[in-house]
Amino acid sequence: MNNPGNKREHERLPSQEPAVLIMSGNRRWTGETRDMGMEGYLFVPDGPTDGLQQGEEGRIEVELFMDRTAALPCKVLHIGPRGIGLKIIRAYPSPIKG
């Protein structure tokens, strides 16, 4: 990466895919992705995220194409004014090395 202030290991790509963030107790937030990478997403909810906590684990369901949805386990890294930073939890190594 050429940006010395960027701590990310992999490049990020702009996105705008419909998504649903689902946490314990079947708590759901609809919204869309705005930024995706090998390690996670920036999720922008349609409304308030009352009760959502940093460090919580759940899943994000992202509509990819032709009505296909990916359900990915995730962890909330941060909650901010631009959205919710989610790390994708993998049970296997990342397929791309930087």
Q: Domains (ranges, CATH) in the chain?
A: 12-88 (2.40.10.220)
Number of C-beta neighbours around residue 16 at 10 A: 11
Note the pLDDT of residue 98. 46
Note the pLDDT of residue 90. 78
Distance (Å, whole) CA 4 – CA 6: 6
Q: Which amino acid is at 6?
A: N
Output the CA–CA distances (angstroms, integers) from residue 45 to 17, 38, 64, 74, in the order listed.
12, 21, 17, 15
Note the pLDDT of residue 13. 65
Distance (Å, whole) CA 38 – CA 1: 14
**Residue whose C-alpha is closest to residue 63's, from 93, 20, 26:** 20
Note the pLDDT of residue 7. 55
Tell me the chain's radius of gyration from C-alpha atoms: 13
Note the pLDDT of residue 42. 95
From first to last of the 98 residues of the chain, give the pLDDT tens digit.
444 455 555 566 677 889 999 999 999 999 999 988 878 899 999 999 999 999 999 999 998 877 888 899 999 999 999 999 999 997 666 555 54
